[in-house]
Structure 1
Amino acid sequence: MEHVKIVNGNKITSNLVGGQAINGNSVLCLTKSSTAPEIAISFMEIRLSNITNKSTYNKLDQILDEVTDIDDIINDLIIEDNLSTKDFIAKIKRSLKRNKNDSTEKLADKIRKNCKNQLLNNITKRRNKHKKIIEVLLNESKIKKELKSEKPIKLILDNFKPHSSKFISRICKILNIDLIFLPTRSPHLNPIEQVWRLIKAEIRMLYIQNQAHLEQVIMKVFPEKVNEISTDKWVESYIK
């Protein structure tokens, strides 16, 4: 499994997570970014594509619908948590009074940080809200017990920082996914690298009009190329 960003000659980009299966279903996920919530969603999609029980499949599929494209819900949660105008002004006044001997630059920086924390587009707050929604929905569904009956997924991946986060670890325990990390700086040990190489070569021969066109091409080419790269020798070399 690997997270990759594909860029064509026109600088059109697409974020992807691809999973090449040895004895399961290979999966390609289009992601908005390489953040932990998006990676968690891609792991859920990998799990979904390798579920045998229909009831469990439907439950996880519903959760995926509820955690995807939820900007409006996150907006509402941030607004709900934010201070009222009156409380926010009082907080700024307290900060100015407490730090009255600071320079103008330092005071301006403190005000800026307080304002940033109240913004809807605060990246950290949005990411944390999204992570919480994903984890709460998975836990409340009690799907962990059902997924214990499914074949465990051994996911081999690189050391990209979000992959090793505590949040991703908790999500993988629920999904019955075991993470196996490759040594640092060893992309040659990951056979899906060859899949990306073939896909990029295919894209270089095409005129890509826009991001939607790029993603359409990738979705079409991935199933073809992932089957061209054999994992047999890789298994013989590294799984002993």
Structure 2
Amino acid sequence: MKKVMSSVAEAVADIHDGACVMIGGFGGSGAPIELVHALVDRFRATGSPTNLTIINNNAGNGAVGIAAMIRAGMVAKMICSFPRSSNAEAFNAKYGAGEIALELVPQGTLAERIRAAGAGIPAFFTPSGYGTELAEGKPVEEFDGKMYVRERWLKADFALIKGQKGDHAGNLTYRLAARNFAPLMAMAADKTIAQVSELGAPGSIDPEQVITPGIFVDVVVAVPEPQQEEALVRAGEVY
């Protein structure tokens, strides 16, 4: 099975209208900017993909990455924990105009819903959100005198993630906190697409250093000098 693609455009070519897409990153840390911008480029050229559901920790910053997707009108719904970050103007404008839907999920619950999907666990109970609007319509149950909310797993059609090192078999390592949601998302998506700063032959990564095994990765593309979201936002870049 060919996993290595020659360009980010080729890597994201299968993402279709109406897809649910997980995008790694905690703020800018671990955000696969080049993959996201390749999707924006395709939308501008062809009008597709659109009507996307995006799963991420936040709803984009500035005018790059996920925020660029939102500004372009590609995103129908955000599932995230922090939609109102300091530079979330793109999301704020679309949400205020009623042009984008929001599913707000506590951060720990978001991570566990994604992990549960990768582990084949369809639902679990958590105390987070009980007694709030976030629990409305969801089953609740008492365990040892404490009330819990039942949450469903969270799957996706695609995951876009960013690794530090990768090999032709799809094995990945990450740089420090850039790991964040990426390993969980790789397990919870039908197709995982990873950009990596360093790409080598199978065996070039010590097996003990592999964080995401290649069995969970479908596409790998080399991006030797990836951009950092925070730097682009500080510079006022608009994609």
Give the number of the structure whose alpha-carbon radius of gyration is greater: 1
Could you tell me the TM-score, scaled by structure 1's length? 0.29
Give the number of the structure whose residues are more often helix, by fraction.
Answer: 1
Give the number of the structure whose residues are more often strand, by fraction.
Answer: 2
